[in-house]
């Protein structure tokens, strides 16, 4: 233990090991209990779908909403809904990312990550408590949000790639004489996720008696793409004014494919700027990690002395500003 920043006695080491074992056990319980909760949720949804044509619709919809709100950490969920100011926005981000976690699960992961980072920085790098607290908060809040944002963007790109095929399938179904509800069911069965999952959720609500536009607007909150909103607006206008819905959706499909081609061209044109941003963001960490492994005493003053900590903080702020500016330059919305 002598190589650590803080000398540990046998009792302290035993306490740390016990705390680690306890935290691991709690994490495993949370994870594996979530699988059972998810299975119960799926069974309940299938049961509601099978009984959709009988019974009271309002009661079934209320039961469906309660089933959706099941959480692995219900107490933490209730506390966050009552006291956290942006709970609804975070829940919407989680739904957009497609991750099967609730607000309590997200908060638990962020707190666990922050505690782990604080533990490692204080124990191994001998950093002052103030710097450890700031770093732990930044990592605990930043990394989960970055992961959720990355997942949401990736899911949105996958949705936009498959969505024109879904619209074409609806057009073919309408030209074959099928109603819109049956066309939505075909998309739910024949198109893979995330498009198929979104339409399957809409189909379940339609079978429970929800109007098709209202059901689509509800599931649109879990996607957050303009393309899906175009479809809902087209269906709403056709229902109010009439007209050839198949022809309208065929034109919409052509528009969506043109937007996708333009988006891919812009991504190709800005690939150099994005690669430069990634290299500039990762190079300091690679060099710093290599120096820490090769010669810890050489890079140690950067974290252990007040002057070094000021230099590291200034460098981190400068690098963050540069990454933000380059990301804005390389991002062009269509």
Predicted confidence (pLDDT) at residue 42 exceeds the cutoff of 70 = no
C-beta atoms surrounding 294 within 10 Å: 9
* CA 282/CA 211 separation, integer angstroms: 49
- Identify the pLDDT of residue 138: 83
Confidence band for 55, pLDDT divided at 50, 70 and 90 = very low
Instruction: Please state the rounded mean pLDDT for residues 245-259.
Output: 90
293-330 pLDDT, tens digit per residue, is: 888 888 888 877 888 888 888 888 888 888 888 888 77
Residues of the chain with pLDDT > 70: what percent? Answer: 72
pLDDT at 1: 42
Highest mean pLDDT among 27-31, 151-155, 168-172, 217-221: 168-172
The count of other CB atoms within 10 Å of the CB of residue 74 is 13
Decide if pLDDT at 92 tops 90: no
Q: Who has greater pLDDT, 233 or 82? A: 233
CA-to-CA separations, 190 to 52, 186, 229, 311, in angstroms, rounded: 22, 6, 21, 56
């Amino acid at each position: 233990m002598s190589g650590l920043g803080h000398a540990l006695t046998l009792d302290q080491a035993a306490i740390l090991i016990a705390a680690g074992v306890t935290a691991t056990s709690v994490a495993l319980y949370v994870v594996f209990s979530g699988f059972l909760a998810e299975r119960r949720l799926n069974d309940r949804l299938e049961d509601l779908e099978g009984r959709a044509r009988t019974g009271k619709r309002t009661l079934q919809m209320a039961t469906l909403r309660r089933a959706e709100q099941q959480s692995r950490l219900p107490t933490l969920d209730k506390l966050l809904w009552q006291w956290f100011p942006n709970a609804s926005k975070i829940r919407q981000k989680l739904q957009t990312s497609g991750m099967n976690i609730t607000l309590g699960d997200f908060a638990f992961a962020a707190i666990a990550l922050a505690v782990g980072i604080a533990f490692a920085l204080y124990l191994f790098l001998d950093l002052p408590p103030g710097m450890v607290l700031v770093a732990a908060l930044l990592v605990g809040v930043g990394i989960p949000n970055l992961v959720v944002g990355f997942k949401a963007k990736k899911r949105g790109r996958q949705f936009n790639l498959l969505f024109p095929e879904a619209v074409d399938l609806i057009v073919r179904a309408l030209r074959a004489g099928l109603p819109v509800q049956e066309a939505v069911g075909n998309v739910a069965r024949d198109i893979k996720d995330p498009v198929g999952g979104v339409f399957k959720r809409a189909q379940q609500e339609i079978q429970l008696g929800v109007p098709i536009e209202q059901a689509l607007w509800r599931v649109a909150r879990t996607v957050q793409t303009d393309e899906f909103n175009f479809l809902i607006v087209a269906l709403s206008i056709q229902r109010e004014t009439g007209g050839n819905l198949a022809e309208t959706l065929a034109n919409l499909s052509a528009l969506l494919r043109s937007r996708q081609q333009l988006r891919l061209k812009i991504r190709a044109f800005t690939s150099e700027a994005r690669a430069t941003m990634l290299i500039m963001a990762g190079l300091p960490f690679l060099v710093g990690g290599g120096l820490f492994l090769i010669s810890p005493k050489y890079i140690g003053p950067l974290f252990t002395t007040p002057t070094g900590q000021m230099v590291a903080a200034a460098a981190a702020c400068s690098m963050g500003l540069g990454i933000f500016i380059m990301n804005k330059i390389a991002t062009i919305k269509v």
